[in-house]
Amino acid sequence: DVKVTQSSRYLVKRTGEKVFLECVQDMDHENMFWYRQDPGLGLRLIYFSYDVKMKEKGDIPEGYSVSREKKERFSLILESASTNQTSMYLCASSLRTSLRSYNEQFFGPGTRLTVL
Amino acid sequence: GESVGLHLPTLSVQEGDNSIINCAYSNSASDYFIWYKQESGKGPQFIIDIRSNMDKRQGQRVTVLLNKTVKHLSLQIAATQPGDSAVYFCAENGGYSTLTFGKGTMLLVS
Residue-number span of the structural domain to which B33 is assigned: 10-88
pLDDT in tens, B68-108: 999 999 999 999 999 999 999 999 987 778 899 999 999 99
Q: Which of A39, A42, A94 sits opposite B97 (nearest CB)?
A: A94
C-alpha separations of A114 from A84, A92, B76 in Å:
9, 21, 36
With a cut of 90, say whether residue A8 has pLDDT above it. Answer: yes
Cα–Cα distance, B9 to A113 (Å, whole number): 24
| Closest Cα in chain B to A2 | B45
**Which amino acid type is present at position A50?**
Y
Cα–Cα distance, A96 to A49 (Å, whole number): 10
Find the length of chain A: 116
Would you say residue B46 lies in a domain? Answer: yes
Q: Which of A4, A42, A110 sits opposite B89 (nearest CB)?
A: A42
Would you say residue B99 lies in a domain? Answer: no
| Closest Cα in chain A to B98 | A102
pLDDT in tens, A58-116: 999 999 999 999 999 999 999 999 999 999 999 999 998 776 677 899 999 999 999 99
* CATH 2.60.40.10 assigned to A1-9+27-96: yes
Number of compact structural domains in chain B: 1
Q: Does B83 touch chain A (CB under 8 A)?
A: no
Would you say residue B102 lies in a domain? Answer: no
Nearest Cα residue to B100 out of B67, B63, B71, B57: B71
With a cut of 80, say whether residue A37 has pLDDT above it. Answer: yes
User: Where are chain A's structural domains?
Assistant: 1-9+27-96
Give the angle subtended at the CA of A53 by the CAs of A51 and A58, to the nearest 5°: 70
Nearest Cα residue to B45 out of B4, B80, B17, B84: B84
Tell me the HSE value of A89 on the side-chain side, using a 13 A CA sphere: 32
pLDDT in tens, B17-31: 999 999 998 888 888
**What CATH number is associated with residue B81?**
2.60.40.10
Can you give the pLDDT at residue B5?
41
Query: CB–CB of A109 and B43 under 8 A?
Result: yes
Would you say residue B38 lies in a domain? Answer: yes
